[in-house]
Each structure stands twice: as structure tokens, then as C-alpha cells.
Structure 1
């Protein structure tokens, strides 16, 4: 979820969500066989993204590739353009609303003879830019057999308008020197949120139009405007929430759906984030306990971590660290809430987690503070996330259907030793209900929380170390998808496609055989070799 700091290193081949280790699969429901797609010759007919076309309220126009914050060499061979859509679709706004444009890039398939049905990529966040995730998709070979389409979700970096708010990102960096969970920090955070909101409203944005319902219609419009009869969907993190909404609202033309780091719309919010933290943390703690060297050097890791959360919340520790690119040392205050959020992201660096916790327990907070500060102060942490879309989703689709008391109750049930001041702020979502009161948008229809029921073949991927969206959420979503395969890849954190060759292989196999993906690689997976301090 993009309101919170990125992982402590640039963990992608390229962002804002992500079964226990007892088994590699969370269960499977496999029914029937889908026909193999027709093969297309490269160059036969106009390539995707090279023909202007209007379909309903969506108009595609070929043109330059979308702007990106970092160079993306793969765009040199892409077919690009823009999709123009209404900012808000409704009987009352359809003819009066302003138009917005979404950047589109089509990365051609590697193979000369490839399947005719492409894959459309749904980015995470909410608020991440799809085009910036092209390197992750290409590194995972997603375009080996199919063209892959990337469209910026409304309000994101490569869209127009771009609803980023660097002031929020800069506050998060300045907050390194503040007590993370202090009420005073919360008030300052809400002030930054309100300033963001006011600036976007002054620029003419209708903040109620940036949400999953509108985004789902955008993708349906894109498919029709590109003249695609059938395509496949692949969503990561928040993109899984959007994918499940999209297949419920606009199922026509969807051949298959892959979701990775699953966040079901019916569960989205703070309570499931506490559940994710419990499952992901325990996955790491159990893996260490099962390795003789790790368990001997770092016994009772779970107990140690939870004791440190309470101790630091009662008495925060202040330290200074050096961060690459920063000429002066940076002050970092560690309290219990920060420690919980650190581990949520540090699950991507699981091999070093036991050592970092042990060093903190012995009075050395440097490794944790440096990782945390590095994520907050990275150039990639400023001006990249669409807070307009983030809060549009959070405040229309999540907080109206889950109270602050619900979040506290879930946290207390899963982490009974944590102080109340930690439990009121779910991981990744600190001060969210107060932020949403400041954001002040109307709630979405209650149907937004409906469970998705579908017979579209679906692959639900989860990671055993996923402390952002919960390993069990994949199996939960799959229960109402009658032609689904739910797979938990052990020893991997949030969004397994980014970090696991096995997950990449399963995903590619799924799109070729949507009801019978090859999962044989799971049998050979081994836990990380945890770092052992001398």
C-alpha cells in the first residue's frame, strides 16, 4: 500500500500490498479444460496499440510512450498511446464531466509466434504506476508468449491529471525524527493529508472519481478500444483487489485472471493487515526455529520481537544513521509501531531479520534504523505514488465499512501483548480513519464489499512470508471462484512473481493452461539460509 514507506531496498526487478509453511499449496479447485489460444504471427495485422479507436466512452489514440520517473529500456520497442475516459461516469456526470487520459504501453511478446490473447497488468498500491512495473513483468518472462499491456490507473504518475502529493512523501521522510505512533505525529500526518487534498481540489480533481469502480470501467474500456475480444488479467498487491472487482463488474472478454499478493475487496482494511502481519511474521519465526543454526543463535525469536515492540513503545530509542546520497547523518526514532512496520517490509529481506532483531535486543538498533530510513529517504519514495487514488480507494471502499474499533479488536486478538497505542494503527495504515475524515469523500456502494463469484479460471498466488496481505487471503478468494487454483509459495514475501522463479514459472504456465498450471517447481523450494552473527 503506497501510503507507507517502500521496502528497505529496491526489491523489485522494477509497490501498496501481500498458508503457513506447512504446505506449498493452499488448496486448488480445478474444473474443466480451457482451450489453447490461437497463435498470432508477429506482424500479422496491425499490432496492438497502433490503431485509433473509440468504444463507448473510451477513446484510444496511438502516440508517444508514457512518462516514467526512471528510464525503462523496454519502452523502446513498445506500442504506446493514451486512453481518454470521463473522470466520472454516471447519469448525472456523463456529459458534463471533464476528460482524463491514461498512459498505455504494449510490450510485444518475445516469441514470433505467440498467443493472440494478451495480458493486461494491474499495478499495486493503490496509487502505484503500472508503466513503472514493466521491468518486473519482463524480468519474470510474462511477455514470453503474449503481448503485455500496461495502462496507468487514473491519477497515477503516467496519467493526466497526475494526483501525486510530494508533500505527504516529504512529511514521511521528516517523520523519521518523530515518535512514530505519537498522537502529535498523527496530527501532523493528517495535516499533510489535508494539504494534499486541498491542492488536488484546487486543480479541479473530483476526488470521489478515483476508485476501483471507475478503474474497472477504464480497463473494460481499454479492452474494447483496443479491439481485443478476449484478454487475460494479472494483478499484484492492490491490483488483486482491482482485478476481483473488475471480473465481478465487467466479466465480458476476460479469459483468465492471475492475482498475486491477494487483497480481497470484502476484507480490505486494517483488520486484514493485522492478520497479514501475524501470518507473515510467524512464517519467518517458524522457519528460523526449524533451522538448527538459526534457532541456536536466535532462540525464542517471536517472543523477543514482541517483547521489543512493547519495550520500545514504552521507551523509544533514538539513533543516527548514514543513508546513501545524504551528506549528513539522519536521526531515527524507533518505537513499537515503527518496529512492526519495519518487519512488515523487512520480510522481503527475511534472511537478515533474525540478526536485526537480535542486534536490537542487545542495544544496537543500527541495522533496523538504516533500513527504515533508507526506504523513507529513497528518491523513489517521493512523488511517485498517487495519493489521490490511494485515499480515493481507502476512504470510499475501506474505512466506511470497517471502524477503528474493528481494527483495534483484530490487532488485540492477534497480538494480545502489544500496547493499545500500537494496536490502534494497523501496519501500513497508520492514522487512516483520521486521514479519511480529512479526505471527505462519500462512501462507495456497499456492493463494493461483495465477494467475487466467478467461473473465470483464476490463479491466486500467495507468499508464505507475506506480511502485507496475508498468505491465507489467496485461498479465501479462491473459495468463491469455481475454476481457481490457489498456491502458496513458501519462504517468499509479498508479490511472489517479483522474487520467485518458481512463481514466475507457475504464472506463465497458468496463462497457457488456465485450469492446469504446472506447480511442480514447488517441491524443490527451500527456506533461506538465515544470517548468523559471529
Structure 2
């Protein structure tokens, strides 16, 4: 029986949240229907070793997908390729190939329901994230399945655009939101689009609906009766679409760094930034040494945004791998975008902001430039998939006024020029005019309603997908366990041993995730400068 038609149970959800001393609240979830055994384990045939055709989709065992660097976690993987229609509205048209890797369970007797990993982005390749999945213990007693989402690095075609990455590196030396920067930005977007469209790629087919169907085909093509889904960051967006459109065969779902499709866009990005920043600032204020040395840190940050937007600071720094000095311009928009990522290095944020306030921009400039000039920033992100999601599913359903209002609600003191460009979504609306793909059906924006047991994980310092998204999605997920891991940034599974323990325990028993580790978590020790 599909869970889509399961009897609706009374929701009795309470939410986990942790303080430095203890877990302050809890959650109760209803029972889970027993999962049937998977046929392949019953016959002793390892997952990923049998060729199968399912409708227009076909899985063929073969070499493991390419990755930018060797990935030790893939050395024992069983691999192959899933071939699917690029556009299912044209099933006899162009076919695309998606790389698949099945990392076997560490135990000799794996449980019958594997975990499939959905990567972040949009545009990251799941196969390249194998180390994160395996280091977190997901394959302790289950196989872990990783497939390159359509358009990503190890898929064919790969919708990567190195020219955009090169522009992003160059842009650290430009005023973030200047009209001249916008012109260069859109030129890079147009060059990317023209190159991808030239061989006949249907850019409108790179979206969540087609990707969700790819994963539904993968499950059947691998001969799996039931599996578990785990998505991080943008992968939570895809997971929520998948569990709504293809509930059959899903035992449980974990989502970490939650981006609800019904809320995705510039306004929610501003809200998330506010939540993550406030979490960090509040934690500093609660530590006497940090509060004494960096009082009113939130006010300092907002003043710096205003001052830098009016009078940008230009400096030069040296970053690893670039012996020549790199020009960096810090204005209000650049500072906001730096801060959105800087919660990953929270311990140094107060000192960095204080140094900037006292005329020393080096630390922030090095981090801002270093991230964009890192070798990992070039040629890996599928910008074609990212724009397919942004321009087909987000921008058509959020007006310019709504986007600005979201920024004003979160940061009323910010200049309008800063509010016009949401964090990490600079020039998104004109980008989408260039990208020119059809709007997805409005149903893509519906909240996911489901009885599938779901673990909703967030970090208290997450400034990219704020922790409020956990309770938000739980309103329509009747068997949701909501957990906020304090003091952690975006995607807690990658940074927190406690989050990994909770996740593995959830897949063991989706009715009783073990959250006791939350009670012992301590805040970061903030750097105290001279």
C-alpha cells in the first residue's frame, strides 16, 4: 500500500531544541508500518549488479562515475548508469545518463532498506559527497546509494559552466551590486546558457519534477522495494517534492538544512540569514568574555553593512594557490554574503567583525576571496540545474516587491541597494530573464503533506536555511521529528557527531530517534582578539 493512501493519523508532534544545559522539549511520533524485505537481499543479489529496464528508464552496471578527486568511499562501490528521458513529455526524445554508485554496508548482513543521498546546491553532485555520507555512518548497516542528479558533474550532459565560476572569482574585486557588475554577471549567465543550449539541451527539463521521477525510476530499476531518503540543503527541497510526487517505496525521509519548496526564494533567504546571524550574536552575548570584548555585535554588523555600502573598502590579500595579490572590494552586499557563509567558522566571526570595524579588513577579505578562488569553486557546480530550479520554480512565484519586503522585515536598517540582492541570489531576477525557461506548474509550490516518518534537522547557526523551517514543514508532515542542533551551521550532518548519531538512530527506528547527545553540546569558544 502506498503511504499516499495510508490512514491519516492524529498528529502529536513536539519539537526538540537544545540549550547548553539540556534538551528543553521533545517529540512524540506515531508508530511506523513494518517495511517489507527487499527482494534483492532475499535472493542474495547485491544492489546495482543487475541490468533492468523500467518503462523508458534503464540501469546498466558499469564503471563508477567520475569525481573531481579520488573518493576512497567509492573504492568498494558497485556502480553503473541510469538512462532516462531528458523530458518525460517527449519520451522518445533525447536520453540522458546519470551516474550511480552503491556503497555497501559496513556489516556483512545489511538491512534490506538502503539510504539514497540527495545532494545540495542546486547543482552539487551526490557521488562527490560520498565521503560525507560514509564518514557520518550512514552505511553502518545499510547500503548507501548516490546518483548524480540530472545535469550535475558526473551526469551526461553535465550542465557546469566554468565561465560563471571564473566570473565569481573576478567579482571579489568588484562592487557587489553595481550596475557594471550586473552587466558582467548577466554576460556570464548568457554565455553559459548559449553554450548549453547550442547542442540541443532542453534547459526547461532540469527541475525537481524530472529529477524526482529519475529517483523513482532508480529505486525500481535497482529492484528495491523500500528505501530511505536523506537530503541535505537543496536536497531537502528535492526530497520534499519526491515524497509528495512519488511516496510509494519510501520507508522514511531525513532532511538536513531544510529548504521548503513552498517557501523558497529571496524572502526566505533573508529570513534564514537573520535567524543564523542572531543565533551566533546571541551566543556571543551569553559568554561574558565575548560580550565584554565585542558588545552589541549585532549592531556593529548592521552598522558595518550600512557604512560599507556607502563607502566600500578596497584591499589586497594573498589566498592559497594564488601567489599574486588578489584585489577585494568589501561593500554592504559583500559583507552580508560573507557572513552567510561565515557561520561555518563561528568562533572567529566576532573578532573578524571587530577588526573590520577598526579598519582591518584582512581576515574577512581573505575568507571572502579564498572561498571563490578555491580550486573546489571551479567547474563542479551545475549552474544549468541551479537556474532550472531557480527560474522555473522560485522566481515565477515571488514578486520583486515580496523579495524586497522579505529583506526589509528581516533587516529594516539595511540600505535598499543591499536588500535588492538577497544573500547568495545576486541578480537572480535578471538572470532568469536571460535563462528563459518555462515556469513550473504552481503545484510545485505546494506544502508537502505526508505520513512518511521524517527527521527534520536544522542548525542553530544556519544562516542559509534557517531553523524555523523545521517546525514549518512539520505542520504538514504528520510523523515528523523536529531537531535543532545548537551552535551548528548549515547541514549539521557534515559538522556534528551528535547530528550523525541522531540520523543513524532515526533510520534504525523512525519512531524513536535518539537525541540524548543534544544535552551535552557546548557553545563555541569565541576568539578574543587583543
TM-score, normalised relative to structure 1:
0.94
Query: Given the alignment, which residue of 515, 522, 525 partners 1:529?
Result: 525
Q: SS state of the match for residue 229, structure 2?
A: strand
Task: State the partner residue of 1:320.
Answer: 316
Of the three residues 82, 85, 100, the one matched with 1:104 is 100
State the distance in 1 between where 2:262 and 2:19 align. Answer: 25
Distance apart, 1:364 and its partner CA? 0.3
Aligned 8 A contact 2:39 2:223 in 1: no
Task: State the distance in 2 between where 1:25 and 1:71 align.
Answer: 43
DSSP-derived class of the 2:91 partner: coil
Q: For structure 2, which runs of at least 5 residues remain unmatched after alignment?
A: 1-16
For the 8 Å contact 1:484–1:515, the answer to whether it is kept is no
In 2, the alpha carbon distance for the partners of 1:220 and 1:41 equals 17
Q: How many angstroms apart in 2 are the aligned matches of 1:256 and 1:29?
A: 16
Alignment counterpart, residue 148 of structure 1, candidates 126, 144, 159:
144
Q: Aligned residue for 2:275?
A: 279
Report deviation, 1:241.
Answer: 0.4
1:223, 1:254 → 2: CA distance? Answer: 10
Distance in 2 separating the partners of 1:344 and 1:317 = 19
Deviation of 1:172 after TM superposition, in Å, equals 0.5
Deviation at 1:35, TM superposition (A): 3.5
CA–CA distance in structure 2, aligned partners of residues 185 and 292 of structure 1: 42
Q: 1:8 matched to which residue of 2?
A: none
State yes or no: 1:491 paired with 2:487: yes
In structure 1, which of residues 451, 455, 474 is the aligned counterpart of residue 451 of structure 2? 455
Residue 71 of structure 1 corresponds to 70
Task: Summarize the alignment of residues 474-489 of structure 1 with structure 2, pairs less than 5 Å apart.
Answer: 474-489=470-485
The two structures have a TM-score, normalised by structure 2, of: 0.94
Alignment of 1:169-208 (within 5 A): 169-208=165-204
Which ranges of structure 1 fall in alignment gaps of 5 or more residues? 1-18
1:20 Cα offset (Å): 9.2
| Equivalent residues of 1:25, 1:486 under 8 A apart | no
Indicate which of 346, 365, 368 corresponds to 1:369: 365
Deviations 1:45-81 (A, max 9, x none): 1211111011112100000000011110121100000
SS in 2 for 1:121: strand
**Kept in 2: contact 1:29–1:485 (CA 8 A):** yes
Cα deviation for residue 428 of structure 1 reads 0.7
1:147-205, Cα deviation, whole Å (9 max, x unpaired): 00000000000000011000000000111111011121112111110110000000221
Distance 1:52 1:42, change over 3 A: closer
2:163 pairs with one of 164, 167, 175: 167
Distance 1:338 1:29, change over 3 A: farther
**Alignment partner, residue 59 of structure 2:** 60
Give how far 1:94 is off. 1.6
Q: CA RMSD in A?
A: 1.7
Please state if 1:500 is matched with 2:496. Answer: yes
What is the count of residue pairs matched by the alignment? 513
Shift of 1:443: 0.1
1:39 Cα offset (Å) = 9.7
Do the aligned partners of 1:20 and 1:283 also contact (CA within 8 Å) in 2?
no
From 401, 413, 417, the counterpart of 2:413? 417
Please give the alpha-carbon distance, in whole angstroms, between the structure 1 residues aligned to 2:61 and 2:54: 15
Q: Distance in 2 between matches of 1:100 and 1:56?
A: 15
Deviation per residue, 1:466-521 (Å, 9 max, x gap): 00011100110111011110100000000000000000000000001102100111
| CA displacement 1:255-313 (0-9 Å, x = unmatched) | 00000000000000100000000000000000000000100010000000000000000
Say which is worse superposed, 30-39 or 97-106, in terms of deviation. Answer: 30-39
Shift of 1:114: 2.0
Q: Does 1:94 align with 2:115?
A: no
Residues 1:32 and 2:36 aligned together? no
Distance in 2 (CA, whole Å) between partners of 1:189 and 1:38 is 51
- In 2, distance between residues paired with 1:464 and 1:230? 32
Q: Contact 1:105 / 1:149 at 8 angstroms: preserved in 2?
A: yes
